[in-house]
């Protein structure tokens, strides 16, 4: 059962031509294939809405539909007259008006030329360091390239005999002239009469392409670099697809990443944290010496401004965060134990300010 045209567009049967146009414009925007690539449901909705609009926007057809429903357009009871319905060739001007020309203009500009080649994806694993410095990587990409011997045409061509070079065939069905992409020439309007011997008429050749790609500083895992026209060659002389290089950053043995900040944990001994010390830390450039002040607590973060990673958008560098971890000894020699016990005896249990504050609050709670 075919859906009711008015319901498809979400309008009353009494809707004015203006309301009709508005409703269709809204749906066409929402479900346009260029906005919903590879979404079969959206495409179906788009076609349904377009078909409904094609009928209801013409007073004669609308009257016939109001009177007889879908039966008005079933020619001799055979099949769906809209089976080959192509909204783009039917209302090109309307789409230009709706979408400002560029969306539909692209599609129209491609008519009469071959299909665009497929996009390719290449997953590239790079060292963490690349996020800091960027790099140039040499890739080898298996793909189809254009056959130069025939300039991608596949050989000598003549006007397609099935469509007379139009790329479309037209069928008359009741009120409608329905256009369909020509099967023989796939809409190009020309057919091969002598195939190129290099590519056997395909117009494309399998190849392993070497390509240098520049990885900008600031990249992160999941960043996609788009190389326009470096995908698969098009068909019948159509434009090539794009190549997407998807970055995977290897982990760093010492750094964690948080956006453009890098974080590293630096363990120090109780004595170092208590007395203060200089520690060697890793940086993006190599190593550096960091001053840890006496009395530094475990978990304390020392922020080195601007020592993090660059940003893809060219904004200021991130920071390096050094997180101090005070390591409590787990094995003590007799002498260390003795000294620690002496230290405890001299200090008393509640000597440090934080400990004292905690015990004060605890006692108040118990009173
Ligand atoms: Zn043809
Ligand atoms: Zn060729």
pLDDT digits (tens, 9 = 90+) for 121-137: 999 999 999 999 999 99
Superfamily of domain 256-366: Urease metallochaperone UreE, N-terminal domain (2.60.260.20)
Ligand 2: centre distance to CA 114 (Å): 15
Residue from 269, 198, 204 nearest 233 by CA:
204
Ligand 1: centre distance to CA 122 (Å): 36
Give the number of other Cβ atoms within 10 Å of residue 157's Cβ. 18
Ligand 1: centre distance to CA 39 (Å): 28
Ligand number with the minimum distance to the CA of 159: 1
Ligand 2: centre distance to CA 168 (Å): 25
Ligand number with the minimum distance to the CA of 153: 2
Ligand number with the minimum distance to the CA of 204: 2
The answer to whether the Cα torsion of 344, 345, 349, 355 is positive or negative is negative
Q: Is the pLDDT of residue 151 over 80?
A: yes
Neighbours of ion ligand 2 (CB under 5 A): 147, 149-150, 196, 198-199
Ligand 2: centre distance to CA 231 (Å): 18
Higher pLDDT: 157 or 130? It is: 130
Domain positions in the chain? 5-110, 111-152+203-251, 155-195, 256-366
- Among left, alpha and beta (phi > 0; psi -120 to 50; other), residue 254 is alpha
Q: State mean pLDDT over 333-343.
A: 94
- Tell me yes or no: is domain 111-152+203-251 CATH 2.60.260.20: yes
* 145: phi then psi, degrees, rounded to nearest 5: -115, 165
Ligand 1: centre distance to CA 86 (Å): 16
Higher pLDDT: 93 or 51? It is: 51
Ligand number with the minimum distance to the CA of 199: 2
pLDDT digits (tens, 9 = 90+) for 192-216: 889 999 999 888 999 999 999 999 9
Ligand 1: centre distance to CA 183 (Å): 6
User: Quick one: fold of 155-195?
Assistant: Chaperone, DNAj Protein; Chain A (2.10.230)
- Across the chain, mean pLDDT equals 85
Ligand 1: centre distance to CA 311 (Å): 51
Ligand number with the minimum distance to the CA of 180: 1
Ligand 2: centre distance to CA 195 (Å): 8
Residue from 171, 18, 9 nearest 86 by CA:
171
Fold agreement between 111-152+203-251 and 256-366: yes
Report residue 81's pLDDT band, with 50, 70 and 90 as the boundaries. low
Superfamily of domain 5-110: DnaJ domain (1.10.287.110)
Question: CA-to-CA distance for 279 and 266, rounded, in angstroms?
Answer: 8
Q: What burial class does residue 79 get, using C-beta atoms within 10 Å of its C-beta: 0-12 exposed, 13-18 middle, 19+ buried?
A: exposed
Beta strands 301-304; 320-327: pairing state: antiparallel
Ligand 2: centre distance to CA 234 (Å): 13
Ligand 1: centre distance to CA 94 (Å): 26
């Amino acid at each position: 059962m075919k859906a009711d045209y008015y319901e498809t567009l979400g309008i009353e049967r009494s809707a004015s031509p203006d309301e009709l146009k508005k409703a269709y414009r809204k749906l066409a925007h929402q479900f346009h294939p260029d906005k919903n690539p590879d979404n079969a449901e959206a495409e179906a909705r788009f076609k349904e809405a377009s078909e409904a609009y094609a009928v209801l926007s013409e007073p004669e057809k609308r009257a016939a539909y109001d009177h007889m429903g879908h039966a008005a357009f079933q020619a001799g009871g055979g099949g769906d007259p809209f089976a080959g319905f192509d909204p783009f060739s039917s209302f090109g001007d309307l789409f230009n008006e709706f979408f400002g020309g560029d969306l539909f203009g692209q599609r129209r500009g491609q008519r009469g030329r071959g299909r665009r080649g497929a996009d390719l994806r290449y997953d590239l694993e790079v060292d963490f360091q690349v996020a800091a410095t960027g790099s140039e990587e040499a890739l080898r990409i298996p793909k189809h390239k254009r056959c130069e011997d025939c300039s991608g045409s596949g050989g000598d061509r003549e006007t397609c005999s099935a469509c007379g070079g139009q790329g479309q065939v037209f069928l008359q069905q009741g009120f409608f002239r329905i256009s369909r992409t020509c099967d023989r020439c796939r809409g190009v309007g020309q057919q091969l009469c002598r195939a190129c011997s290099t590519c056997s008429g395909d117009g494309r050749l399998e190849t392993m392409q070497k390509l240098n790609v520049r990885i900008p500083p600031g990249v992160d895992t999941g960043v996609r670099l788009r190389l326009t026209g470096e995908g698969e060659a098009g068909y019948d002389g159509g434009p090539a697809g794009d190549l997407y290089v998807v970055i995977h950053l290897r982990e760093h043995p010492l750094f964690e990443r948080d956006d453009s900040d890098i974080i590293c944990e630096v363990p120090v001994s109780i004595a170092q944290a208590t007395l203060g010390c200089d520690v060697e830390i890793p940086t993006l450039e190599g190593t550096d010496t960091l001053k840890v002040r006496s009395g530094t607590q475990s978990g304390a973060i020392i922020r080195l401004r601007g020592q993090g990673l660059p940003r893809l958008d060219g904004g200021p560098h991130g920071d390096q965060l050094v997180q101090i971890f005070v390591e409590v000894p787990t094995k003590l020699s007799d002498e260390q134990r003795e000294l620690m016990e002496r230290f405890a005896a001299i200090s008393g249990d509640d000597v440090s300010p934080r400990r004292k504050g905690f015990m004060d609050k605890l006692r108040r709670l118990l009173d």
